[in-house]
Amino acid sequence: MKTLKTLFLLCISLSGFSQSYDKDILSKEFHKGRREALRKYLPENSCAVIFAGAERQRANDTKFIYHQDPNFYYLTGLLEPNAMLIIFKEEQTYYDTIKSNELIFVQDRDAAKESWTGKIMGRNGVMTQLGFAEVLINNQFADFKVDFAHFDKVYHLEFNNDVRDNKNDKGDLFSLIKHFRIKTSNISKSIDNINLAVWMGSLREIKEPEEMLLMRKAIDMTCLAHAEIMKALEPGMKEYQAQAVVEYMFKNQGSEYVGYPSIVGGGENSCILHYETNRKKLDNKDLLVIDAGAEYHGYTADVTRTLPVDGVFSSEEKIIYNIVLEAQEAGIKACVPGAEFRAAHKAAVAVIQKRLVEQGIIVNPSDFMDYFFHGTSHYLGLDVHDPGNYGKLTPGSIITVEPGVYIPSGSKCDPKWWNIGVRIEDDVLITTGVPEVLSGHLPKKVEEVEALMKEESLFNKIK
């Protein structure tokens, strides 16, 4: 069975071998600072309860590789399951020996299990490596004398429905949630499962300097991977082979995961927004949309390029491509501090409406949604669709700008446009002035793309 741990968890849990593992993980001071920032949102005499992410079953007795809940990781740095965090506004006293404004419940170490799935941090590791003063074992929570009725408000996030009960583990996530519900069953008026999500969105929307370093790394390795598939792409390649080139480049540079399932759609599949099958054989007349981003130490990039499989855009493809590129450039230009979040979308829509009417693809500007039916931007960070307030654009936030035009076969326009799907996406940092396109060094102009596609890739020699 696959280990639940990533390499960078081993970095912090195996101190004797730390020099062999990643050194650029977020520090315990970063996570403590994020807890302090959240505590400032809490009103007097209140607490916030945050649970680790659920383990997810793939099939039978095989689990997916564990991925921590981003909010829990942001606040703790812990990458292990079956844990919970309680943040108090004021210092609390329990059993006359515990005096703290936060408690964390974690898995106990188990040598037999660790021989199968790798070492975990345990109580001592969480104290020394993550900087928590008060750490308890998760199966202690059921009997822990925390009186939630004592607080005016108890904040938590909405529960997901994919938590399974391990009947042999009294400290698993199922049990932690169950006993939290039991302990709060008589104070329903004090429970708030709305505001904590709002506060976490406000915190995570603005990236700290340490986060920006990891975001830039994720985006840079993503751009390098996209550049490599531009060189490697050729007729006869399968969509999954193009995906393999991109994801190899991610992994070879140190990415732990893809940030989301890679979208690699050619020909008719270029018109499917979240196509993930990736099994088609690519023809020299196909356009290929590649929407793929590397995840690095929890932070993900989100970049899309559209490529002509034979290396040269046809006249029709070039027209649609340049419409999308113009729309994207207008959207990026609109990403200035103080602008409404949808400013980039409105700017992109205006271009697409005008140009599609000019080409006779639509008659009425309002019909643009037949071919551009999604939003242009979302926040980016620990989640590919990161939380944020979606109000005014604020310096320090990162958003995508990703307009597209998709004309599937059978559309109400000249058939010469059919099966042309184009999306161009970049990751944009909102600054105090001109936006910084973090992925802007990856070619996207027609002549730049065609020039790079003429270069040879080592992957072309793999048959």
For residue 1, the model assigns a pLDDT of 34
Q: 368, 353 in Cβ contact below 8 A?
A: yes
CATH T-level assignment (fold) for domain 7-203: Creatine Amidinohydrolase; Chain A, domain 1 (3.40.350)
CB atoms within 10 A of CB 266: 27
Lowest mean pLDDT among 128-137, 163-172, 428-437: 163-172
Residues labelled as active-site residues:
61, 274, 291, 302, 374, 378, 385, 402, 406, 423, 425
Question: Residue 19's pLDDT is what?
Answer: 62
Average pLDDT of the residues in 114-140: 95
Any idea how long the chain is?
463
Whether 165 shows a pLDDT value over 90: the answer reads: no
DSSP 8-class letter at 43: P
Residue 14 pLDDT exceeds 70: no
Main-chain dihedrals φ then ψ at residue 17, nearest 5 degrees: -120, 20
CATH superfamily of 206-461: Creatinase/methionine aminopeptidase superfamily (3.90.230.10)
Per-residue DSSP letter, 304 = E
- pLDDT tier for residue 291 given thresholds of 50, 70 and 90: very high
Backbone angles phi, psi at 237, to 5 degrees: -70, 145
In this prediction, residue 16 carries a pLDDT of: 38
63 neighbors 24 (Cβ within 8 angstroms) = no
Could you tell me which residue, 20 or 367, shows the higher pLDDT?
A: 367
**For residue 168, what pLDDT band results from cuts at 50, 70 and 90?**
confident
Give the model confidence (pLDDT) of 308-335 as tens digits.
Answer: 999 999 999 999 999 999 999 999 999 9
Instruction: Give mean pLDDT, residues 215-232.
Output: 98
The string of pLDDT tens digits covering residues 337-369 is 999 999 999 999 999 999 999 999 999 999 999
Domain 7-203 shares a fold with domain 206-461: no
Say if strands 299-300 and 294-296 run parallel, antiparallel, or are unpaired. Answer: antiparallel
Of 13, 83, 75, 31, nearest to 54 (Cα)? 83
The three-class DSSP label of residue 359 is coil
* pTM attached to this predicted model: 0.94
- The pLDDT tens digits for 299-310 are 999 999 999 999
Judged against a pLDDT cut of 50, whether residue 256 lies above it is answered with yes
The domain spans of the chain are: 7-203, 206-461
Q: d(Cα 258, Cα 301) in Å, to the nearest integer?
A: 9
Asked if pLDDT for residue 209 goes beyond 80, the answer is yes
Q: What is the pLDDT of residues 185-195, one digit of tens each?
A: 999 999 999 99
